[in-house]
Amino acid sequence: MRYKKLQDWLTWQESLNPKEIDLGLDRVSQVFKNLNFSADFFCPVITVAGTNGKGSTVAFIESILKQSNVSVGSYTSPHLFKYNERIKINQQAVSDDVLCEAFDVIDQARGDVPLTYFEFATLAALVVFKKYQVEVAVLEVGLGGRLDAVNVIDANVAVITSIAIDHVDWLGDDVELIAREKAGIMRPGKPAVVSIFKAPESLLKYAEEHKVKLVSLGKDYLYQGLSSKSWQLKAANLHLSDLPVPALKGGFQLQNAAAAIMAISLLELELVNSAVAKGLQEVSLAGRYQQICESPRVIVDVAHNEQSARMLSDTLAENPVKGKTIAVVAMLADKEVGKVLAAVQPEIDHWVSAGFLTSRAMSSKNLAQAVRGVHTNVKLSVCESVTEACVTARTLASEEDRIIVFGSFYTVSEATAYFNQCNDN
């Protein structure tokens, strides 16, 4: 074995390919074949692509399958705290030892193929799923769809969540082009759940050209809130009523939950109302409108594009507080920062801008200028780090106030570590 410690493996993987993101299936396909895998995987596969909602949809699928006594492996990215979070068996992150063993198998099979960090992770997930002989594998697309490493597998069911502008440097700034890329996970003759009320034309055209069996929200299935605590889902051969509102906050989570249920039903697995209900109630996903502190109330959210920022703003509005709302924000420079800030601005009383340690981060000073660009008269504090920003926010907040931390996975990770330390003390 090349390395015995997980961190040593990860450090080495980061240097194996000079590009952090290097889209394409040539490298991963070669090693995939060397591992004696085929595109028709040993178990049913659900692949989830989209701009926002992917992580939540995967979490719902995992939770419902677990409550249905179906063993499930999931692969998601990026992680918030530990790399192990990316690969789970029955909602539990795998151990360092399991990951190191999987990396060794891949290393032996790759020859001199310079896999990227993400490609190594994807192949490791497949090796781990085979080891544990899961009954269903759920794969989250990292970037785009057509050229993403997970697309080396032919999905039995594809799920397309929302489509919006993000990752402009790699996917462009045209929704139709982005939709075409995401449509690339769909397969001829296989079902694809489209969790969008009005899907882009390019996606619909791709599905028609490739004879994909589209199952579209608003046409083939519908969800409806019955009260503040219950909802129902209707499709041709499926009617689940009086379902509990999901544990994940935000009205938009019904859309993700409905897509997850439809995906499971298309695998022709039996759906028992009680198991679905418990899956919705037991679901958890770090960093999605997650409250991590009580006094003052602190909420973290990985929202980092305009669409997710609008969802965050709506959820803040749906859950008002007596006092003021203080925002701690730090973002990557390649995001549409102005549009993200503008989307959340109506719900924020005081801004605290910050930076973090990565080459792609926007400096706290530039972020502060962006905040002022959205609204010249805002109350604003400028801090160098997310931790310093959290300290500042705490001093500004009274018991009736709340702090919302958002802007990226990096932001949420650092803030959660800080507030967890506060809670321990």
Q: Which residues pair with 221 in a beta bridge?
A: 217, 235
Residue 347: pLDDT over 80: yes
Q: Identify the weakest region by mean pLDDT among 24-33, 141-150, 244-253.
A: 141-150
Peptide bond into 296 cis (omega under 30): yes
Pick the CATH number of 6-282 from 3.30.750.210, 3.40.50.2300, 3.40.1190.10, 2.60.40.10: 3.40.1190.10
Mean pLDDT lowest among 21-25, 56-60, 273-277, 329-333: 21-25
pLDDT of residue 173: 63
- Identify whether the C-beta of residue 289 lies closer than 8 Å to the C-beta of residue 301: yes
**pLDDT tens sequence across 159-177:** 999 887 554 454 556 788 8
Tell the CATH superfamily of the 290-424 domain.
Mur ligase, C-terminal domain (3.90.190.20)
Cα 53 to Cα 58: distance, rounded to the nearest angstrom? 9
Contact 301, 378 (CB under 8 A): no
- Tell me what the mean pLDDT of segment 358-376 comes to: 91
Of 180-189, 261-270, 323-332, 416-425, the poorest mean pLDDT is in 416-425
Global pTM exceeds 0.85 = yes
**Position of tokens 């949420």?**
412
User: Across residues 394-398, what is the average pLDDT?
Assistant: 95
**Residue spans in the chain of domains classed CATH 3.40.1190.10:** 6-282
Numbered ranges of CATH 3.90.190.20 in the chain: 290-424
Positive or negative torsion for Cα 55, 159, 311, 203? positive
